Amino acid sequence: MEYNFRSIEQKWQQHWKDTNAYRVLNNSTKPKYYVLDMFPYPSGAGLHVGHPLGYIASDIFARFKRLKGFNVLHPMGYDAFGLPAEQYAIDHGVHPAVSTDHNIKNFRAQLDNIGFCFDWEREVRTSDAGYYKWTQWIFLQLFKSFYNRTSSKAESIDVLVASFEKEGNSVHPIPGAQYQLPGGGNTFTAAQWKAFDEFTQQSILMEYRLAFCGYGEVNWCEGLGTVLANDEVINGVSERGGFPVVKKKLRQWYLRITEYADRLLDGLQHVDFSDAMKEMQTNWIGKSYGAEIDFQVQGQSAGTNLRVYTTRPDTIFGVDFMVVAPEHELITTIASASQKQEVEDYIAYVKSRSERERMAEKKITGCFTGAYAVNPFNGKQIPIWISEYVLAGYGTGAIMAVPCGDERDFKFAQHFNIPITNIIGDAFNGEEANATKDAKLVNSDFLNGMVMRDAIGVVIGKLEEMGIGKRKVNYRMRDAAFSRQRYWGEPFPIKWINGIAYPLDEKELPLQLPHVEKYGPGPEGEGPLANIPEWTARHLETNTMPGYAGSSWYFLRYMDPHNDQAFCDRKVSDYWGQVDLYIGGTEHAVGHLLYSRLWTKVLFDLGHIGHDEPYKKLVNQGMIQGSSRFVYRVQGTTNKYVSYGLKDQYETNQLHVDVNIVDGVELDTEAFKKWRADYADAEFILEDGKYICGVEVEKMSKSKFNTVNPNDLVERYGADTFRMYEMFLGPVEQSKPWDTKGIEGVHRFLRKLWRLFFDEVKGAVWTNDKATDAELKVLHKTIRKIEDDTERFSFNTAVSAFMVCVNELGELKCSKKEILESLLILLTPYAPHVAEELWHELGNTGSVLDAAYPVFQEKYVVETTKEYPVSINGKLRTTMHIDLSAEQAAVEQLVLANEIVQKWVEGKPVKKFVFVKGKMVNVVV
């Protein structure tokens, strides 16, 4: 009887399906464990061997936890809305719903092939109305909430309104500093609030809502009648058609994620993410501590101040000029008559440049306004410049420039010949800025002699005393744009009437995405929904939600996927709680992870769930790179190819060749001729009768012909081999190249395992004999190793531990049920099909999926002697078997009597004798 993996795998997959082996219940006496894979987008290209890596790892872990007695939730679903499907629809005339459905079918077939233990009854798709009903519902919660800065959490907007009616906005000032009420200013009393008309009231509330609508700058292309992404704009004109593109403020939905900046930062201390991941999120949030300082502008009325943000108030005596962003509102007020034309020209120039150009070119540009600010401490006049290196959206959109301490300021000063004041003495060399905080200040009036680090607080204190500055924390993170002018996404449950956004009643959800035939943009940068008369007649919002809407909360829906009364029953989310293990790539470091953390915090604040961090532990799987193969076409010929080893004798061109027609490095020349029509009459210059290909590691991609389809490998070696090989390749977190050839080693291992049970001629060879000490030792060593390795996600070493175990049992000629049965349970997470088959062959009737995990017993692995390495002066010279209970004195005697040791010691006195019990011996002479 031989290892017929095809029929075995088919049989058990069918059996598990028939018996609902992977169904998970929401109530259990067992402890819970939640294993989640990052939501895949079902692309039309299908899976290559790089994709399932994380799924296999999570599957192994889920099965392991199940064997260890946990109730394990391990679901899968699809992030089905999104731009690619819509783009495909536009290009091919297939409705996104149709192509998405088709892609999901293929995706599912590929997944099933690998034998995952997903509970498919819990599958979710973000594009299903039953799902996005709740995405819309959560959006409404965001819309109807504000961030209460006094309680530091989201609360109902009703709380805010009640406060307004009682005390105006004195308790809850408007979060956006720039906002101006229709009559100017940004504070109001209770009486004023009550007197505002509805439009004004709603406009004010919009300034607080966690999901809000505002105006944002976008690239508007009149010629194409649409908004363009940054990468679709080149040199100020559209990539397609060359039409001019201008920055335009357009209505957009946003999430007020900035209010959660601190909590998102703090939360990182309570989750188990890699340092790199925490670092990326921390940088993205970009918290900085500094001060806002008001500078009087010369010749302007007392109220017209230039407010700057700086993290280095200690350098205030080194300020040689001010720089404001080109968008700064004060420019028109302060620009002098003589500079007016120059300023206008400069602003026009900046407007013509896209964000991308601005960043790519990094030219030093700028323009003097003709106005001067006054240094509040010494009355010095400071010229005010405009430059695009200062960003309107950060801080106050204006800075005080200190060229001796800031590289950008230094370069600007040099470029425009602005004299530089040195306030750090020898620490400034005149060649480049020095951003130190440890220098002693000079030329700094009352700060002279003080270390900069200490001066920061002193200056802020003084500014506050004078009433012209205050401590200020800033964040780099901006509010998240939450609308797309696209079709294939969740419609917003919002109606617009007279410029006021009204939420739909929850009973009206889901607001169904209407069917359309065309996906072209609507007028004035609106989405395709604006082209549907029935839609606009209902005054419905025409934008749709972005891709990350549905994926921000899907981990909650898996818990209770069919509930049509709530997004997830509170009792159910309390039972499952956080995702215990989340596996996925690093590409979602700041997008998806930050958004889903935000949504979780809001839902927690509003009392809908009981935890405020979605993921307890995050593991990032590495990428599997492609290993490309090349053939070398001789130059001057149309179809003559020279083998790798001989190519230096010719002038050649290197061409990618499909890795699937190469065995290791040897090209299948017949397959090559059949591969593409123009290679049909190819000729080869061989070495040793073979055509050897060149090899290079590159990204795995169709265009490089280095993709490998898991289906082909499963067909040839079986799912169990494939799963184990993906793990055997190396640590999950690490990127590594794919090498199909290596899979045979894992396949051989499974056949070796099989032969412990069955002989090709004799049939079953396993016995009920009592296991020997040596056999039990092999088994228990393996139990310990597999358990440890699996717990710490070291799946590659676990696979080799299985190999070692089977090799050793083979040497011992051990085919005893007592040993093999336990081994099968250990193997179940990794190779479930063959484990289940052999489990039944041993006479078990239940499924191995629910067997009791073997318990490691120390007594079987205790050693009495150890082969000690013996070094002389740190160099290994020999090894000696010594009783483990032996103490230093006895060992010393034994070792020094050893012939080889004596030879090396050569009668010299022993200076030191190092003995670490159970480890090693070192003789120092």
Partner RNA sequence: GCCCUGGUGGUGGAAUUGGUAGACACGCAGGACUUAAAAUCCUGUUCGCCGCAAACGCGAGUGCGGGUUCAAGUCCCGCCCGGGGCACCA
- 96-114 helix and 83-92 helix, angle to the nearest 10 degrees: 120
Based on its alpha-carbon atoms, the radius of gyration of the chain, rounded to whole angstroms, reads: 35
Minimum CB distance to RNA smaller for 83 or for 590: 590
Cα–Cα distance, 163 to 168 (Å, whole number): 7
**Footprint (CB under 7 A) of RNA, residues 295-334:** 309-312, 325
**Footprint (CB under 7 A) of RNA, residues 135-194:** none
DSSP conformational letter for 852: P
At its nearest, how many Å lie between RNA and the CB of residue 626?
A: 13
Q: Taking CB under 7 A as the rule, does residue 735 contact RNA?
A: yes
Minimum CB distance to RNA smaller for 543 or for 551: 551
Dig out the tokens for 519 from the structure.
Answer: 């996906």
Minimum CB distance to RNA smaller for 108 or for 476: 476
Q: Taking CB under 7 A as the rule, does residue 736 contact RNA?
A: yes
Q: Please select the residue that binds RNA; options are 240, 363, 539, 676, rule is CB under 7 A.
A: 363
At its nearest, how many Å lie between RNA and the CB of residue 559?
A: 31
Minimum CB distance to RNA smaller for 169 or for 922: 922
Q: Please select the residue that binds RNA; options are 461, 520, 664, 843, rule is CB under 7 A.
A: 664
Minimum CB distance to RNA smaller for 210 or for 746: 746
**Footprint (CB under 7 A) of RNA, residues 521-540:** none
At its nearest, how many Å lie between RNA and the CB of residue 359?
A: 5
Q: Please select the residue that binds RNA; options are 218, 373, 746, 905, rule is CB under 7 A.
A: 746
At its nearest, how many Å lie between RNA and the CB of residue 455?
A: 14
At its nearest, how many Å lie between RNA and the CB of residue 482?
A: 19
Cα–Cα distance, 411 to 404 (Å, whole number): 10
Q: Please select the residue that binds RNA; options are 474, 709, 844, 898, rule is CB under 7 A.
A: 474
At its nearest, how many Å lie between RNA and the CB of residue 878?
A: 7
Query: Under a CB-based contact definition with an 8 Å cutoff, are residues 398 and 323 in contact?
Result: yes
Q: Which stretch binds RNA (CB under 7 A): 131-139, 368-376, 546-554, 863-871?
A: 863-871
Q: Please select the residue that binds RNA; options are 524, 759, 788, 841, rule is CB under 7 A.
A: 788
For residue 15, what are the CA distances in angstroms to 10, 21, 76, 118? 9, 8, 20, 15
Q: Please select the residue that binds RNA; options are 279, 432, 574, 883, rule is CB under 7 A.
A: 279
Q: Taking CB under 7 A as the rule, does residue 765 contact RNA?
A: no
Query: Under a CB-based contact definition with an 8 Å cutoff, are residues 182 and 245 in contact?
Result: no
Q: Taking CB under 7 A as the rule, does residue 388 contact RNA?
A: yes
Helix, strand or coil, per DSSP, at residue 431: coil
What pairing do the DSSP bridges indicate for beta strands 305-310 and 237-238?
unpaired
Query: Under a CB-based contact definition with an 8 Å cutoff, are residues 423 and 320 in contact?
Result: no
At its nearest, how many Å lie between RNA and the CB of residue 95?
A: 33
Q: Which stretch binds RNA (CB under 7 A): 61-69, 232-240, 279-287, 854-862?
A: 279-287
Q: Please select the residue that binds RNA; options are 40, 326, 561, 737, rule is CB under 7 A.
A: 737
Q: Taking CB under 7 A as the rule, does residue 268 contact RNA?
A: no
What pairing do the DSSP bridges indicate for beta strands 763-764 and 758-759?
antiparallel
Q: Taking CB under 7 A as the rule, does residue 752 contact RNA?
A: yes
Q: Taking CB under 7 A as the rule, does residue 914 contact RNA?
A: yes
At its nearest, how many Å lie between RNA and the CB of residue 701?
A: 13
Q: Is the peptide bond before 510 cis (omega within 30 degrees of 0)?
A: yes
Cα–Cα distance, 292 to 819 (Å, whole number): 73
Dig out the tokens for 193 from the structure.
Answer: 């609030």
Q: Which residue's entry shows tokens 């003097």?
A: 368
Q: Taking CB under 7 A as the rule, does residue 751 contact RNA?
A: yes
**Footprint (CB under 7 A) of RNA, residues 822-861:** none
Phi-psi bin for 780: left (phi > 0), alpha (psi -120 to 50), beta? alpha
Cα–Cα distance, 722 to 113 (Å, whole number): 10
Cα–Cα distance, 51 to 40 (Å, whole number): 9
Kindly state the number of chain residues that form the binding site for RNA, as judged by CB under 7 A: 84
Cα–Cα distance, 203 to 157 (Å, whole number): 13
Minimum CB distance to RNA smaller for 165 or for 863: 863
**Footprint (CB under 7 A) of RNA, residues 403-432:** 406, 408
Q: How deeply is 173 buried, as exposed, middle or buried, from its count of CB atoms within 10 A (0-12, 13-18, 19+)?
A: middle
Strand-pairing partners, residue 471, are 291
702 is in an annotated binding site: yes
At its nearest, how many Å lie between RNA and the CB of residue 567?
A: 30
Q: Which stretch binds RNA (CB under 7 A): 284-292, 461-469, 542-550, 593-601?
A: 284-292
Q: Please select the residue that binds RNA; options are 21, 174, 374, 391, rule is CB under 7 A.
A: 391
Minimum CB distance to RNA smaller for 859 or for 912: 912
* 68, amino acid identity: K
At its nearest, how many Å lie between RNA and the CB of residue 278?
A: 9
At its nearest, how many Å lie between RNA and the CB of residue 71?
A: 27
CA dihedral for 84, 89, 94, 98, sign (positive or negative): positive
Query: What mask of x and - would describe binding to RNA in positions 790 to 829, judged by CB under 7 A?
Result: --x-x-xx-xx--xx--x--x-------------------
Q: Please select the residue that binds RNA; options are 34, 143, 385, 749, rule is CB under 7 A.
A: 749
List b or e across 666-705, with b for residues whose CB sees 16 or more CB atoms inside 10 angstroms: ebbbeebbebeeebeebebeeeeebbbbbbeeeebeeebb
How far from the centroid of its chain's Cα atoms is residue 707's Cα? 23
Helix (H) or strand (E) holding 544: none
Q: Which stretch binds RNA (CB under 7 A): 133-141, 333-341, 762-770, 789-797?
A: 789-797
At its nearest, how many Å lie between RNA and the CB of residue 629?
A: 14
Q: Taking CB under 7 A as the rule, does residue 728 contact RNA?
A: yes
Beta strands in 536-660 (DSSP E): 581-584, 618-620, 624-634, 640-642, 652-657
Rounded to 5 degrees, what are φ and ψ at 338? Answer: -70, -25
**Footprint (CB under 7 A) of RNA, residues 877-906:** 877, 879
Minimum CB distance to RNA smaller for 259 or for 388: 388
Query: What mask of x and - would describe binding to RNA in positions 570 to 609, judged by CB under 7 A?
Result: ----------------xx-xx-------------------
Q: Which are the contacts of 670, defined by CB distance < 8 A and separation ≥ 6? A: none
Q: Please select the residue that binds RNA; options are 15, 362, 570, 674, rule is CB under 7 A.
A: 362
At its nearest, how many Å lie between RNA and the CB of residue 347?
A: 15
Q: Taking CB under 7 A as the rule, does residue 748 contact RNA?
A: yes
Q: CA end-to-end span of the chain, whole Å?
A: 62
Query: Under a CB-based contact definition with an 8 Å cutoff, are residues 41 and 78 in contact?
Result: yes
Minimum CB distance to RNA smaller for 221 or for 729: 729
Minimum CB distance to RNA smaller for 299 or for 742: 742
Please compute, for residue 872, the number of CA atoms within 13 A of its CA located in the half-sphere on the CB side. 18
Closest to 727 (Cα-Cα) out of 72, 62, 54: 54
Cα–Cα distance, 767 to 842 (Å, whole number): 9
Cα–Cα distance, 680 to 684 (Å, whole number): 12
Q: Taking CB under 7 A as the rule, does residue 476 contact RNA?
A: yes
At its nearest, how many Å lie between RNA and the CB of residue 563?
A: 36
HEC states along 155-188? EEHHHHHHHHHHHCCCCCCCCCCCCCCCCCCCCC
Q: Please select the residue that binds RNA; options are 283, 429, 637, 865, rule is CB under 7 A.
A: 283
How far from the centroid of its chain's Cα atoms is residue 700's Cα? 19
Q: Which residue's entry shows tokens 């201008």?
A: 246
Cα–Cα distance, 393 to 553 (Å, whole number): 29
Minimum CB distance to RNA smaller for 206 or for 910: 910
Q: Taking CB under 7 A as the rule, does residue 284 contact RNA?
A: yes
Q: Please select the residue that binds RNA; options are 98, 162, 566, 876, rule is CB under 7 A.
A: 876
Annotated binding site: 702
Annotated binding site for ATP: 702
